[in-house]
A and B are shown apart, each in its own frame.
Chain A
Amino acid sequence: MILVWKIWGAYVRLTARFPSVATLMPFVPVVGLWALVAHLELFPKVFFPSPLDVWRSFIDLTWKGILPDYLQDSVVRLAVGAAWGMALGIPLGVLIGMNRIAYRALWPVLLFLQAIGDIAWLPILVIWFGYGLVTMTFVIVYTVLFPVVLNTVLGVRSVPPVLARAAQSLGAGRWSVVWEVILPGALPNIITGLRNGLGYGWRALIAAEIIVGTSGIGFLMFDARRAGSVVEIFLGMIILGILWYIVDSWVLAPIERTTGQRWGLVTR
């Protein structure tokens, strides 16, 4: 028992020195189990490749340049979609959150459109825009837009009115109130919306690539299925997980730490 505590203590100290260890360590048993199952050949090898097979395929596809290209395609599509989603969603959310008439006019429509869901649009989009970039971008923007709008509205409405009054009494005009009070006050919610939006958008992108794509990680996986290459499907799935982890811990989490948490608006 004491030994367990000692090992645990050493592990905690190690992760304090090297935080990436804390990220990677939990995957060691997962990969180990995977390797074991593959090694024992509980399933036929063509259906259940080993970690080493996937690693080889990763090297191979990277070497050929396919993987970097596809990865770039997917990430750029997501980034462009997210940028549009924010550029449309934040102003729309602020408008709906601040203006009673806009709220009454648009809120039911938003809830209705949100319910249709992202890939449920694909059939009609394919007819309108064909198999290609426009269709995929539309789906991602659509998916990112709603969580951003809905959360921005919530955020705007959660800003205490007394703060806007304080700003006005210090000489702030309408736009200054929006810029100096409403937006920063709503920021924690906006980031939550963005986090959800990116998560949904990422999944929608993969789905869209599978259905209408000619490149990208989703396409890679679907193409591999056609070729019967289980290894590449595994590879695609792992890359999806890793990419999301990177977006979350390198982009979203730092923004949250330096805004809402620092200001005491959200507790950790």
Chain B
Amino acid sequence: MKGLTLRHLSKTYFDPYSGTRVDAIHDVSLQVEAGEFVSVVGPSGCGKTTILNMIAGFLPHSGGDILVGGKPVKGPGPDRGVVFQSFALFPWKTVLDNVAFGPKMRGVARAEREKIAREYLAIAGLSEAAGRYPSELSGGMQQRVGVVRALANDPDVLLMDEPFASVDAQTRMTLQEELTRIWAEKRNTVLFITHDVGEAVFLADRVVVLTKGRVLDEIKVGLPRPRKWDDANKDPEFQRLSAQVLEKVRAA
């Protein structure tokens, strides 16, 4: 497991057609320790996706440094697993082959990578779905596959961009609980992006509030794990933290 460091990160979008520049990220510094779960929360348009895409290597950054385990990142790579809001499963691959894709790219032999994939599918309660195609699954199940596919590749850092935003509210709560459970087992370094304050607090060890391309504040979350929504909803500490974060986000 490795940590993630952002040092004075900035990003300016340049539109060659209109000739306009958009300063999406001004100056963001952030340290995610190895094995830490950090949520980044902020209003729409504050630059969350931009930051994640730069860390993932999908976008070049304009200034500053992005380090994983102390080494600067260059382009996309398997050390940074990504879970997408749109799931981004390969429609032409079965659930099993989707999850086995990362190991396949690492050159793991078929029998071995299918064994790995089955293990991870079992953790997420997806064993039954192994032979099915993504289009045959519900949205909630598709995103379970998306999470498990990223985890099965054993990345140093797991990046998640509003992964549960497009599933219904009940399923979302189940997925959040499952994520805390799975994470408690694997203890990956996670950067979780969301605009949902409750989600940010529920999942994380620490919540970072982002505003207009800058870090506004950080709030530590010391709630015990594993976490359940039934407990969290009754927990005054959870209420207090959520209110505190919400206040910051609204001030943003």
Contacts and interface: CB of A to CB of B under 8 A. Distances in A.
Contact of B56 (A165, A176, A185, A259): A165
Given A170-B78, A170-B105, A163 B90 contact: yes
A188 to B, nearest CB: 10
Interface residues of A, number: 23
15 contacts: A162-B86, A165-B88, A166-B82, A166-B88, A167-B105, A168-B77, A169-B76, A169-B82, A170-B101, A171-B77, A187-B92, A259-B92, A263-B91, A263-B92, A264-B91
Contact of A169 (B77, B91, B92, B133): B77
B238 interface: no
Contacts of A176: 105
Q: For the side of the interface on B, what is the size category?
A: 20 to 34
Interface in B95-126: 101-102, 105-106
Interface string B4-46: 0000000000000000000000000000000000000000000
B190 to A, nearest CB: 15
Nearest to B58: A165
B80 interface: yes
B153 A162 contact: no
A166 B84 contact: yes
A170 B82 CA distance: 8
A185 B102 contact: no
Contacts of B101: 167, 170, 172, 180
Interface of B: 56-58, 75-78, 80-82, 84, 86, 88-92, 101-102, 105-106, 133-136, 149-150, 153
Given A262-B133, A264-B134, A169 B56 contact: yes
* Centre residue among A167, A169, A173, A180 by max chain B CB count within 10 A: A169
Q: Which 5 A-B pairs have the closest CB atoms?
A: A264-B135, A171-B78, A171-B105, A168-B76, A170-B102
A9 B150 CA distance: 52
A229 B142 CA distance: 64
Contacts of A160: 86, 88
Contact of B133 (A171, A173, A264): A264
Indicate the member of A160, A162, A176 with the most B CB atoms within 10 Å: A162
A185 B91 CA distance: 8
A132 interface: no
A255 to B, nearest CB: 13
Contacts of A185: 91-92
A94 to B, nearest CB: 16
